[in-house]
Amino acid sequence: MKFSELWLRSYVNPSMDSAALSHLLTMAGLEVEVMEPVAADFTGVVVGHVVSVAPHPDADRLRVCQVNVGADAPLQIVCGAPNVCADAKVLCATVGAKLPEFEIKKAKLRGVESMGMLCSARELGMADEADGLWLLPADAPIGMNVREYLRLNDNLFTLKLTPNRSDCLSVTGIAREVAALTASAWQLPTFDTVPASAVDVPEIVVTAKDASPRYCAQVIAGINPNAVTPDWMVERLSRSGVRAISPVVDVTNYVLLELGQPLHAFDLDKLNGGINVRMALPDEKLTLLNDQVVQLDQDMLVIADQNGAQALAGIMGGAATAVGDTTTSVLLESAFFQPDIIAGRARRLNLTTDAAHRFERGVDYAQTNYALARATQLIVAICGGEASAVTEVLGDLPKRAAISLRPERAVKVLGVSLTHEQVGDLLQRAQFDYVAEGNIYRVTPPSYRFDLTIEVDLIEELARLYGYENIPATTPVAALSMLPDTELSRPVDNLRHVLVGRDYQEVITYGFVDAVWEADLAPELTPVTLKNPIASHMSVMRSTLMGGLLDVLQTNLNRRQTRVRIMEVGHCYLAQDGGYAQPLRIAGLAYGDVMPEQWSVAAQCVDFYDVKADVVAMCIPQMVRFEAAQHPALHPGQSAAIWLGDVQLGWLGALHPALVQKFGLSSTPVLFELAVEPLLATKVPEHGEISRLPSVRRDLAVIVEQNLSAQSLLDAMLSAKIPSVIDIALFDLYRGKGIDSDKKSLAFRVLMQDNQKTLTDQEVDAVMAQLMSLLQQKFNAQLRS
């Protein structure tokens, strides 16, 4: 919201300077993002009257001017502007004037003395380029200081408003807020209502009364199409960032800025029949004022005549009934549209309008008629014409239920000793209607405050009006006690620390992702679709962390990072019957070389087993197992499901070749994704005696079927729980010469130890025979000679 300080002070004028006013608004929650002067700092520039213009004796492009600045005699000034002429009112910088870039001194131009300078907007720092002098109206007072005449001692405020403060999207709304904060008097613009004339009004029908509970219209006939918008209005509009177009359009824009009520003017002669406020019909189209042709959805509200939709209600008018240079009669519309019926529709059509910005946040439904009367008065004053009586169609307006406010509760929340009288005074300053019932105030929110619904909202208002800076900073007092810390679980940070220690870097990616990612990486799941996404490529909630990691990988590769190891802990979002699930997961990605480039280690690209070692290290002390399985996003021959007991934790594998090509990667990354919650459970450490006796190692090499997994053999041997066996691990896999093509050789390291005695060869042989017998019975394994 951008506005002129002088405009604001015409409604409320507290006794504080501009800086203090800016600080006051910011501390009240209306952040002043920018405060800038209307014009650069300059002095000594006055209104001049060019008495005469004569050619320069030695320069064809220069003129010698006699300029009256209200002094005893005219000043002789040499000027080269093409539009200088006799009897013109101009900006004249006298000798000694200080302009933004230089100071005016006596000078001679081609031998002719010059006692000043005639200025354009560029010399005053108010424009980057200028074609000639800034010519003033004929009634400009000669000799008057230009800063005073053009009201340049003004500042432009730009507020960064939060979405809940739609009541401050107008100058009068901000004035009302300043009056409440400073206990100053303020007033709405006063004007005489235009009397109604016998002007015919088209029939007004509101079919969608729930969407438009108040619709007002008024006809203004016989307006002058050649009328000109007055300078004071053009000035206020331009200082608010709005370009003047034509008087009728300028008035609607002016009232929008002044009162916060969007209006729309139809060219009455272009309307066919009466007005119907209804929902859009199937396959209905509309050409908007910006010449954009839009396909309307059936949940969009339109203003229609017999020819069809003529305006998109609360967003933008249609080109077919737009006001033009030949318009002599207009139908002026002022309405209250429910915020829910406007919200999101403009964004859906890639539109951004001031009207939609206000309607979707809520406008003051009690001010609809007042804004229409204000606009009618301005149009008639500027363009002439006659106004009809107002046609109003009413439905069920929003009900503002009273909110119970307990002063004692406010004191407890704010930490300030407010009396009942102080609370009542603050509510009066905010213009809230209330009734005191014992120790409770029943406060009815005003029609322009859609953000006040519960008690804490009113407590926040008390804090703002009292002043956040006046609330003392007190040290909180609380009891400190040791919280229980069980050894049966570990924090998520433990997982993070393990991966960071193994050279991973943590990243944080968006929960909103591209629907294409979900189709590629989790085609078996239906993603949660957003109704109002912040961007087209962030239209669904993620059901896997892989998409974000691949996006980060691409970003790093685009910046010439050839080795990437990243991890993320975050929630995924899954649709379920009756609701949604938000499982916490941990995922990682490794790409490029195993080790950073160095002279002592040969370059080797990261593979499945490198990342498997990282996953195992992260899961310790939990014992996980890996089973070959296929995942749609992973390489069919290089992927595995990760299990913890009977629970599948997640997946590990190289990215699918098709996705490697789709993402434009030069080599294949390896990814994993695990559920976090099962990994957080752990066991209490148990004391065990450290044997003084040496362990015994024996190797067991067996030949088994090609399709048997090594894990199944390991599980079988470990499940036997032979007392002297302390560890069994796979250390070799062989296929080739000496082994049948449908067979493979697996070699296991078996460690045995007894805490009480040294194992004999007979005991060791017996254990190995027991293991071999087990493998023969379960897997038809043969001892490899």
Mean pLDDT of the 513-541 span = 88
Three-state DSSP at 479 gives coil
Mean pLDDT of the 178-204 span = 91
How far, in Å, CA of 237 to CA of 258, rounded? 10
Question: Is residue 390 over pLDDT 80?
Answer: yes
What torsion do the CA atoms of 592, 597, 601, 607 make, to the nearest 10 degrees? -10
**Does the model's pTM come out above 0.85?**
no
**Average per-residue pLDDT for the chain:** 92
Question: Is residue 688 over pLDDT 80?
Answer: no
pLDDT, position 208: 94
Q: Tokens 């405020």 — which residue?
A: 157
pLDDT, position 748: 95
| Structure tokens, 561 | 């990072």
Count of C-beta atoms within a 10 Å radius of residue 499: 21
- DSSP annotation string for 310-323: EEETTTEEBSTT--
Strands 263-267 and 214-221: unpaired
Residue 596, preceding peptide bond in cis (omega within 30° of 0): no
* Residues 197 and 33: beta-carbon distance below 8 Å: no
Q: How many residues does the chain have?
A: 785
* Residues 310 and 303: beta-carbon distance below 8 Å: yes
pLDDT, position 603: 86
Reported as a pLDDT band with limits 50, 70 and 90, residue 287 is very high
What torsion do the CA atoms of 12, 15, 17, 18 make, to the nearest 10 degrees? -20
Q: What are the C-alpha distances in Å from 577 to residues 455, 542, 580, 618, 715?
A: 35, 18, 8, 33, 37
Mean pLDDT of the 61-78 span = 91
pLDDT, position 526: 86
Mean pLDDT of the 449-478 span = 90
Q: Any known ligand binding at 457? A: yes
Three-state DSSP at 413 gives helix
Mean pLDDT of the 515-532 span = 89
Mean pLDDT of the 725-743 span = 90
Question: Which residues make beta-bridge pairs with 68?
Answer: 49
How far, in Å, CA of 767 to CA of 725, rounded? 8
pLDDT, position 711: 87
Mean pLDDT of the 10-36 span = 94
Q: Which domains are present in the chain? A: 2-38+154-182 (3.30.56.10), 43-149 (2.40.50.140), 204-394 (3.50.40.10), 403-470 (3.30.56.10), 492-680 (3.30.930.10), 696-783 (3.30.70.380)
Residues 6+ apart with CB under 8 A from 630: 636, 639
Mean pLDDT of the 451-479 span = 90
Please compute Rg for the chain using Cα positions.
40
How far, in Å, CA of 94 to CA of 106, rounded? 9
Question: Is residue 691 over pLDDT 90?
Answer: no
Reported as a pLDDT band with limits 50, 70 and 90, residue 681 is confident
Q: Any known ligand binding at 461? A: yes
pLDDT, position 441: 93
Residue 249 backbone zone (phi > 0: left; psi -120 to 50: alpha; other: beta): alpha
Reported as a pLDDT band with limits 50, 70 and 90, residue 563 is very high
Mean pLDDT of the 231-247 span = 93
Q: What angle do CA 512, 513, 518 make, to 5 degrees?
A: 130
Question: Which residues make beta-bridge pairs with 696?
Answer: 752
Lowest-confidence pick of 67-71, 171-175, 529-533, 674-678: 529-533
Question: Is residue 127 over pLDDT 90?
Answer: no
Mean pLDDT of the 682-690 span = 80
